[in-house]
């Protein structure tokens, strides 16, 4: 009687240890998931802030140049037309870029605030809601940079209309800058605007994996029952303890079921 009571207490303590270890593992998985989500959000928001700030700076500078530029007498009208068109395109493209980035930034902060109960992962949210707008905003920004440089060249011809050598040198510098920008865009533009691939984790939620885990658990339980039968036959007065395989299988199954319910 005393030995049965001791075995029962030992079994209860072992099951409690398994349950505690499973609970700690679940909390660790949840914490890691939150940290990864927060890291992804910080990276994307910093990316949006960078493009938005730079686009707003370029648009504001171009507006100031257009307003403050003194137009001397005798400047041909086609030159003024090119100056106005490049200024308008630069301001419009840069404005669309930083407005889109700002809207996406506000949307991300709204969807994933502290009190949010959204079950959708941030990666899926970014791909479904923000990916196309990000590519569009980045395209507006990259298209506005050559127009901004071209506007500088036309402004030099208007400002220094009577100084042809000065205007020509400024135009050459602008042409070199546009060429260098094209090279940089070839290297980094396609990489930054690369479309992400949506990867939905199907390992934990697929029926086949659940069936595999259940079959492993059933096999372990059957092995435990056989061991219990052998032990009870050899030692009728003893109650056998759960085997290590049964404890590990139960712990693994409980942890995965809890994670699946949270997802």
Instruction: State pLDDT tens for residues 80-122.
Output: 999 999 999 999 999 999 999 999 988 888 877 666 656 667 7
User: What is the chain's alpha carbon radius of gyration, rounded to the nearest angstrom?
Assistant: 33
Question: If you count DSSP H runs as helices and E runs as strands, how many of each does the chain have, helices first?
Answer: 8, 0
Residue 242 pLDDT: 43
In this predicted structure, which of 58-67, 144-153, 222-231 has the lowest mean pLDDT? Answer: 222-231
Confidence bin at 32 (pLDDT 50/70/90): confident
Distances (CA, A) of 92 to 48, 51, 143: 18, 15, 11
Question: Rounded to whole angstroms, how far apart are CA atoms 37 and 39?
Answer: 5
Contact 22, 247 (CB under 8 A): no
pLDDT at 202 over 70: no
Residue 154 pLDDT: 92
Alpha-carbon dihedral angle through residues 211, 213, 216, 217, given to the nearest 10 degrees: -100
pLDDT at 1 over 90: no
Of residues 241 and 164, which shows the higher confidence score? 164
CA 4 to chain centre: 56
Residue 194 pLDDT: 73
Residue 176 pLDDT: 95
Q: Which residues, other chains included, contact 13 with Cβ-Cβ below 8 Å and sequence gap of 6+?
A: none
Confidence bin at 6 (pLDDT 50/70/90): low
Residue 89 pLDDT: 95
Select, from the ranges 7-21, 33-47, 130-144, the one with the highest average predicted confidence (pLDDT).
130-144
Tokens of 13: 């303590």
Residue 129 pLDDT: 82
Q: What would the pLDDT profile of 143-176 be if each residue is shown by its tens digit?
A: 999 999 999 999 999 988 888 898 899 999 999 9
Distances (CA, A) of 198 to 12, 44, 46, 71, 131: 45, 16, 21, 53, 11
Residues present in the chain in total:
263
The dihedral region occupied by 74, where left means phi > 0, alpha psi between -120 and 50, and beta the remainder, is left
Average pLDDT for residues 130-143, to the nearest whole number? 91
Question: Rounded to whole angstroms, how far apart are CA atoms 147 and 85?
Answer: 9
Distances (CA, A) of 53 to 57, 59, 141, 178, 188: 6, 10, 11, 21, 19
pLDDT at 246 over 70: no
Instruction: Kindly state the helix (H) or strand (E) to which residue 206 belongs, with its residue range.
Output: none
Question: Rounded to whole angstroms, how far apart are CA atoms 39 and 208?
Answer: 32
Nearest to 248 by CA among 216, 225, 222, 226: 216
Across 230-250, b (16+ Cβ under 10 Å) vs e yields eeeeeeeeebbbbbebbbebb
pLDDT at 208 over 50: no
Confidence bin at 58 (pLDDT 50/70/90): very high
Q: What is the mean pLDDT of the chain?
A: 75
Across 53-83, b (16+ Cβ under 10 Å) vs e yields ebbbebbebbeebbeeeeeeeeeeeeeeebb
């Amino acid at each position: 009687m005393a030995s049965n009571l001791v075995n029962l207490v030992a079994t209860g303590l072992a099951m409690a240890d398994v349950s505690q270890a499973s609970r700690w593992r679940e909390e660790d998985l949840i914490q890691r998931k939150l940290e990864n989500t927060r890291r992804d959000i910080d990276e994307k928001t910093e990316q949006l802030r960078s493009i938005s700030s730079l686009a707003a700076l370029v648009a504001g500078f171009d507006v100031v140049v257009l307003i403050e530029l003194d137009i001397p007498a005798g400047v041909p009208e086609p030159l003024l037309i090119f100056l106005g068109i490049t200024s308008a395109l630069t301001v419009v493209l840069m404005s669309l870029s930083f407005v889109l980035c700002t809207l996406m930034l506000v949307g991300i902060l709204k969807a994933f605030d502290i009190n949010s109960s959204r079950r959708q992962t941030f990666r899926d949210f970014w791909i479904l809601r923000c990916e196309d707008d990000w590519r569009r905003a980045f395209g507006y920004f990259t298209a506005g940079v050559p127009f901004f440089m071209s506007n500088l060249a036309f402004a030099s011809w208007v400002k220094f209309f009577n100084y042809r050598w000065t205007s020509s040198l400024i135009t050459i510098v602008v042409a070199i800058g546009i060429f260098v920008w094209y090279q940089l865009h070839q290297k980094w533009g396609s990489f930054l605007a690369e479309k992400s691939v949506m990867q939905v984790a199907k390992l934990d939620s697929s029926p086949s994996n659940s069936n595999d885990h259940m079959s492993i658990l059933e096999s372990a339980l059957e092995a435990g029952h056989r061991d219990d039968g052998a032990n009870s036959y050899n030692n009728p007065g003893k109650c056998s303890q759960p085997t290590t395989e049964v404890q590990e299988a139960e712990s693994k199954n409980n942890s995965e079921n809890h994670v699946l319910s949270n997802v």
